[in-house]
Amino acid sequence: MPDIGFLAPYDFSPLTILSFALVLAGYGFALLRMAPDQRPGSVRIVAFVVGVLLCYGVMQTRFDYYSQYMFFVHRGQHLILHHLGPFLIALSNPLPIFRFWHEKMSPTLRSWLRPVGWVYRILQQPVIAAVLFVGLIYFWLWPPIHFDAMLSRQLYWTMNWSMLLDGLLFWWLMFDPRSPVLTSALGYGKRILILAAVAIPQMILGAWIVFSRGMVYDVYEVCGRAWPMAPETDQLLGGLLTWIPPAMMSVIGILLILRRAMHEDGRIVKPSRLAGENL
Amino acid sequence: MTKRLLPLILTVSVLALTGCFGNDEQWHGKDISGLMPELEFELVGAGGQTVTPEDSAGDIRLLYFGFTSCPDVCPTTLTDLRKAVNQLPADYRDDITTLFVSVDPQRDTPERLGSYASFFGDHVVGLTAAEPELRELTKRYRTTFGYDEPDADGNYNVSHSSAVYVFDRSGNARLLLRPGLTTQQVSEDLAQLLSEA
């Protein structure tokens, strides 16, 4: 019999469950109500749902237990929250869904949400986005901070949510489907540059963890591991997960953007009379 | 203008964030004030009676998870704690209670726990509970335990936290004593905590 207990949250967080439920319900509702020609295709829908469910799975199932008591599982959790999950969500291009809800919003709500827009625009400045993306990884993996984050329930949730939200912002900036020729979306060259730039510090950090002789993250030692595993093995696997897959995600991201750039090359010509409006 | 302000905002927020983790007092152990919830449990004592933090209210409590068949870590930790307590001025020694919580209720009966705990001093209390309750308690203090496969004789190893949680007289989580501290350092930390009003 399959163990259904695995699907139950280890650390039940009503706010997390509510957020994920709202996102999926909002997405589903918009899909059903929007004009058929706007509706994303099945591959995009699957990519979105898989991305959301992956993030939910590492936060609200037994996986979370192992993430708290094994360093390498924790690195796997962040790989999903900061990379793979948001990567799939951004790639699924949920823009039509955003548009649908934006049109539904009352003018009052829109004006209330304006500060969110300002923060969003600040965070999406290329330099800030790149520094934030790498900075958060370094911040939460800075040994004293990491120790505290694993000891305090509140900090632990702050860490995981900050990784997820920043992952969404970053990969959305990278995969924004709007053409940089026609809109103010970030140019493809800059996107590629950022993806390459963020890969390097992640590789350095991962390699440093892998080649560290001593225990860098002794919190797992102190708090007991989920199952008996040599601390060195745990640290080595965690280091590898910090080093290789994120670098690969950058490479895949670069390839996808290059493909799009080559595809659009010469096909989209900036209509001069609209230029002023769209910038 | 916004562009020039941005690095400033960023620096200030990073400073503000790191400021949260600064501490004024100097401890050898890890300061966990505010990181963990206060002391709360309902466990079974050596006589089979229910034990709560109320039974040692007003004392400094040292919480340690282990098991009596533990080959080295548990006896060493408990011995070191006893040495550290014995280095304190005589008036203080009675104000410290060590709570030894066995995470191996299968083998550690209340009687067995009682004789084991008393071996390490008068103020060492052996406690345990059924596994689900122990899971709840260890989760509260963000630690865990696990069992190895039993060998031919039925003996098995238990993975558990190697740190000692220190709670002050009011039951607030204050320090985490990681392995590697000398008894002198532990003693100094306890004295500092005891001298608090």
pLDDT, chain A, mean: 92
Categorize the per-residue pLDDT at B24 as very low, low, confident or very high, splitting at 50, 70 and 90: low
Across the interface, whether the CB atoms of B21 and A221 are under 8 A apart is answered no
Domain extent listing, chain B: 26-194
Task: State the best of A74, A122, A223 to mutate against chain B, taking most chain B CBs within 10 Å.
Answer: A223
Categorize the per-residue pLDDT at B197 as very low, low, confident or very high, splitting at 50, 70 and 90: low
Least confident of A26-40, A125-139, A262-276, B58-72: A262-276
pLDDT value, residue A83: 97
The answer to whether the annotation marks B28 as part of a ligand binding site is no
Across the interface, whether the CB atoms of B142 and A153 are under 8 A apart is answered yes
CA dihedral B29, B33, B37, B38 (to 10 degrees): 80
Task: State the best of B144, B161, B164, B178 to mutate against chain A, taking most chain A CBs within 10 Å.
Answer: B144
pLDDT value, residue A264: 87
pLDDT value, residue A182: 86
- State whether residue A226 sits within 8 Å of chain B by CB: yes
Categorize the per-residue pLDDT at A236 as very low, low, confident or very high, splitting at 50, 70 and 90: very high
Q: What is the ipTM of this complex?
A: 0.78
Distances from the Cα of A16 to the Cα of A12, A161, B83, B100, angstroms: 8, 9, 46, 35
Average pLDDT over residues B41-66: 94
pLDDT value, residue A278: 45
Length of chain B in terms of residues written: 197
Categorize the per-residue pLDDT at B56 as very low, low, confident or very high, splitting at 50, 70 and 90: very high
In chain A, which residues have their Cβ closer than 8 Å to the Cβ of B178?
Answer: 218, 222
Average pLDDT over residues A31-53: 95
Q: Which fold has domain B26-194?
A: Glutaredoxin (3.40.30)
pLDDT value, residue A116: 93
- State whether residue A222 sits within 8 Å of chain B by CB: yes
pLDDT value, residue A137: 97
pLDDT value, residue B71: 86
pLDDT at residue B64 greater than cutoff 60? yes
